[in-house]
Amino acid sequence: MKGPHGVPDHPQAAATVANPVIAGFHPDPSVCRVGDDYYLACSSFEYFPGVPVFHSRDLVHWTQIGNALERPSQLRLSADTLSSAGVYAPTLRHHDGRFWLIVTVVADGGGNMLFTAADPAGPWSDPIRLPGLPGIDPDLAWDDYGTCWCTVAGVGQVRIDPRTGETFGELHKLWSGTPGAAAPEAPHLYRIDDYWYLLIAEGGTERGHGVSIARGPAPDGPFEPCPANPILTHRSTGHPVQNTGHADLVQAPDGSWWMVLLGVRPRGGTPGWHVLGRETFLAPVTWVDGWPVVGELASGTPDGSAVADRDDFDLAELQAYWISVRSRPADRCTTKERPGWLTLRARGPSLDDPDVTFLGRRAQHLKWRARTLIDPTRGRGGLAVRLDERHHYEIEAGDGRVQVIARIGSVRTVVAEHPFPAGPLVLTVQTGGPRVPGEARAEPDTLSFGIEGLPALATLDGRYLSTEVAGGFTGRVIGMYAATGTVHFDWFDYEAMP
């Protein structure tokens, strides 16, 4: 069955999609297709390496193939870089036989930068800087004459030379979105049949988030808005996926159209707390009278994309999903010093410090358990769940004792302590349900910390490690850290729980 644009309709397609397609803190998805292969990139904010890159053959099952910004020459985030600053909103495109990635780096010495690669798995080039391009959320689109148009949040546009970073002329205002709607941002420009389409997010990235679209005869307009805007929003609904927006369109080889977008899964009582960050979702798109119509966002969840559940640190290089806070100096984080172990050397004295030595992975499930075998003989460190410097929980071993520590806003406290002989031990953290399900103030979950083989030392309220409490743009990251000296970790295990 063909739609008005001569592409197949797929009214049943949404039923086959288990969302989110990339679970956990993977926001601001941008997608492109090359032949039968899809590639997708996400924001990474204050974490290093930056911009995770994924591959899929069906838009549903994604595998991380690398990180675009993995060298200090590509990305330098100093200790002064605030949490939820750093790398914003990539656009990933394929043009003229190469992959192109443009991002905004919110940090000293940052700005808008462009990177290229022959292979999306890397290596990616060092940055091509665009000092004449203001704003965030930059997009790339090429017209039939080879002119490259860059559109930014606001929504403004300027022509650029993507090989040099030169801009031509002043930023031209295109469209401000729906009158009265806040924050027109995340623009993406496409040539589809007879029109140029301008897709944006608006309403802010919280509960009012939505997707709107306009079309015009040329890449620089003029643009007329879709009469059905917003074409996607879950604001003021009871849908289990909220904050839907920051979308990108892609056409499949069979001619069907799809939208990737970010959303969150709030839980608990009022107002609802989301703890995994903004995740990547998928929805089908059909065309009616030359406008895209977004199908149902199926909410059945696979609860996580495929990643290794256990890392024994037997490889010389770390897996692509491991991330650190702002930087990862090789002399502070290595698997090469003690074969089969991860070695962390302390910088900042705790997770309160923006310069902490930390290696973590994004939490991707609503219920999960993480464990690690730690040897703190020559230092002190542990297993942590981090949202930012002011919101984290951890279990820390060293100096003959194990402590559970909570940092909530301006308050830092040791909530439990247990003596333990020197030497290796297994630390654990596990999520559980709210203490009083259905109660108006019920937490989204609880987190229990302990030593394997013993009762939990402490169970803490999960709402304080949520975006609704902490603010910002990220989600929970679970990992290992060193607070003093040198700490070794033999393995790390992460698994979903029923």
Q: How confident is the model at residue 298 (pLDDT cuts 50, 70, 90)?
A: confident
Write out pLDDT tens, residues 90-141: 999 999 999 999 999 999 999 999 999 999 999 999 999 999 999 999 999 9
Marked catalytic residue, from 9, 28, 220, 443: 28
Strand ranges in 326-409 using DSSP code E only, listed in sequence order: 333-334, 342-345, 357-362, 368-375, 379-388, 391-398, 401-408
Write out pLDDT tens, residues 247-279: 999 999 999 999 999 999 999 999 999 999 999
Cβ atoms of 320 and 362 within 8 Å: the answer is no
Residues 6+ apart with CB under 8 A from 180: none
The CA–CA distances, whole Å, from 158 to 93, 162, 190 equal 17, 12, 15
Task: Specify whether 254 is catalytic.
Answer: no
Write out pLDDT tens, residues 39-70: 999 999 999 999 999 999 999 999 999 999 99
Between CA 6 and CA 8 the distance in angstroms is 7
Q: What is the pLDDT of residue 97?
A: 97
Q: What is the pLDDT of residue 62?
A: 96
Q: Left if phi > 0, otherwise alpha if psi is -120 to 50, otherwise beta: which for 4?
A: alpha
Q: What is the pLDDT of residue 496?
A: 93
Hey, CA dihedral for 77, 390, 271, 370, is it positive or negative? positive
Q: What is the pLDDT of residue 18?
A: 86
Q: Is the pLDDT of residue 312 over 50?
A: yes
The mean per-residue pLDDT over the stretch 214-226 comes to: 97
Single pTM value for the model: 0.95
Q: Which of 40, 468, 64, 99 is nearest to 262 (CA)?
A: 40
Task: Specify whether 303 is catalytic.
Answer: no
Spell out the domains of the chain, with CATH numbers in brackets.
29-294 (2.115.10.20), 308-496 (2.60.120.200)
* Residue whose structure tokens are 């589809």: 192
Between CA 127 and CA 380 the distance in angstroms is 37
Marked catalytic residue, from 46, 185, 388, 461: 185
Write out pLDDT tens, residues 447-491: 999 999 999 999 999 999 999 999 999 999 999 999 999 999 999
Q: What is the pLDDT of residue 303?
A: 55
Write out pLDDT tens, residues 427-436: 999 999 998 8
Q: What is the pLDDT of residue 16?
A: 67
Q: Which of 475, 470, 434, 431 is nearest to 27 (CA)?
A: 475
Cβ atoms of 119 and 72 within 8 Å: the answer is no
Helix (H) or strand (E) holding 224: strand 224-225
Q: What is the pLDDT of residue 498?
A: 86
Q: What is the pLDDT of residue 2?
A: 34
Find residue 92's DSSP bridge partners.
101
Residues in the chain: 498
Q: Buried b vs exposed e over 75-88: b needs ≥16 C-beta within 10 Å? A: bbbeeebebbbbbb
Q: Helices in 227-310 by DSSP H: which ranges?
A: none
Q: Is the pLDDT of residue 1 over 70?
A: no
Q: Buried b vs exposed e over 283-309: b needs ≥16 C-beta within 10 Å? A: bbbbbeeebbbbbebbbebbbbbebee
Q: What is the pLDDT of residue 437?
A: 85
